Structures are given as structure tokens and as C-alpha cells.
Amino acid sequence: MSLAVEAVSLTKQFGQITALHGITFSIKPGEIFGLIGPNGAGKTTTIRMVCTIIKPTSGSIRIFGYDSDRQAEKARQILTYLPEESGAYPNLTGWEYLNFMAKLQAQPGTDIKAVVAEAAEICGLGDRLKDKAKTYSKGMKRRLLVARALMTRPKLAVLDEPASGLDVMHAYHIRETVKRYAREHGVTILLSSHNMLEVEYLCDRVALINKGQLVMEGTPKELKTKYNSENLEEVFAKVVGYA
């Protein structure tokens, strides 16, 4: 079976800025894979390349065997992307938004009603789905958007900081949803996060990017053992040089 993501020697140059210096990693089907690293390390750049939004300067990415450059259309059909800064259309109700996005995202022949019903269950917003998105709190909006990213059961869902800045209740809901969804439906998840508790709880494997380089990779347990640390935060601090 092909890997879910196979990124080889990725570099990215933005003018004078080298955002990535040649990173290589792979994600197995069904895995929850976490990208961690300090601000500006290159996580979003990596994620945007996996989602075929930007092209690497050099190197290659395969998504379930599809080349992200030559077969970008094919890759886009099997992945969904939740950007870090993302919003729902403010004047659409939650239902209208999910219905609109389901029609855009779903493959021809898909039962749209069933997809929207699934999204409603995932987000758990109940009656509030009848209200316009502009009346939602930040946490409610994010739950709607996470549901949008998962509702079509993509082969790969890419979530850039899915629960960042949310209160405990909303963040908890999102984490539980992502974990359950990946397990029950075999959806492969690539996510980035600054919350080490979240990463340790959710991720099967983790890669740390620092200054555009991939400096460590492994299961949370392997990394804690290797760096003789009690938790991932301590590992992070040791590897990045804060500790």
C-alpha cells in the first residue's frame, strides 16, 4: 500500500528567505501525524505544499501515490485542508455553509444530505446550526470548520492548528472528534500545533521542524525516552535549545 504522504528533500525559497532546507518525512495511512516547532519554523509552509497550494522549490511530495505537482488535481480530490486562519461565510447559517461546502467538496454521486448530517453530528452544534455563522463564538466557528474538513471522509485531512486559541470545552471537543474520526474512518490526519499536550494525546507520530529543518521524528513515547523527558514540552525545549 502506498504511503499517505511521502515528502522528500523539500526546500522552499521565498525570495531571500529559505523557509525549508530540505525536509523528508512520511505518513502512513490512518496515522495522526503532528508537526511541531517554534513560530516561523516552516510548519505552515510544509502543510501548504502537501495541500498543493504552493509548490516546493525543490524536492517532491506524493499523496497516496499522486505527485503533488504533476497530479495535483488527483491529490486535491482526496484531501481536505483547514488553514490556520479560516472563517465560515458570516451570512450563511451553519447548515447553509455545510451544505454549500459539501456540494463543492464531495465527489459526484455523493449523498449530500448524508454528508451534511454527518457534519452536523461531528460539530455537535445542534440548533445553533440554524443561526448565521457571524453569531458564532470562535470555538463554534472552529468546530464548524473542522466538521467541514472531515465530513466527506477524505483520505487525508490537513489541519493547521485545529484547536488553537479555543477554550477547554471547544478544544476538547475538537481533539476527541479528530481522534475518533481518524480511528473509526481510517482518515489520515496531518496537523500542526503549539500545544504539546494536544500533540501527545492525539498523535501517533510527531516531527519537529526548527529553522526549516526536520530535527527529530518519532512516536511521543520514543521521543520522551530518547530525550529522557517526562512530556513532549520538555523534549521540545531540549531539542530547540530552551532547556
Which residue number, 27 or 125, has a Cβ lying nearer to ligand ATP?
A: 27
Q: Which residue from 23, 34, 37, 149 is in contact with ligand ATP, where contact means CB under 6 A?
A: 37
Pairing of strands 205-210, 32-36: parallel
Nearer to ligand ATP, 37 or 139 (CB): 37
Q: How far is the CB of 28 from ligand ATP (least distance, A)?
A: 23
105 binds ligand ATP (CB under 6 A): no
165 belongs to the binding site for ligand ATP (CB under 6 A): no
H-only helix segments in the chain:
43-50, 72-78, 94-105, 112-123, 138-150, 168-185, 196-202, 220-226, 232-240
**Among positions 40, 65, 165, 186, the unique one binding ligand ATP when judged by CB under 6 A:** 40
Stretch that binds ligand ATP, among 43-51, 104-112, 117-125, 231-239 (CB under 6 A): 43-51
42 binds ligand ATP (CB under 6 A): yes
Q: Among 4, 5, 27, 41, which residue interacts with ligand ATP (rule: CB under 6 A)?
A: 41
Comparing CA positions, the residue from 232, 167, 150 lying closest to residue 194 is 232
Distance of CA 76 to the CA centre of its chain: 14
For ligand ATP, give the closer residue by CB, 93 or 193.
Answer: 193
Q: Are strands 188-192 and 32-36 parallel, antiparallel or unpaired?
A: parallel
CA atoms within 13 A on the CB side of 190: 30
Residue pair 148/179 in contact (Cβ under 8 Å)? The answer is no
Residues at the site binding ligand ATP, with contacts judged by CB under 6 A: 14, 17, 19, 37, 39-45
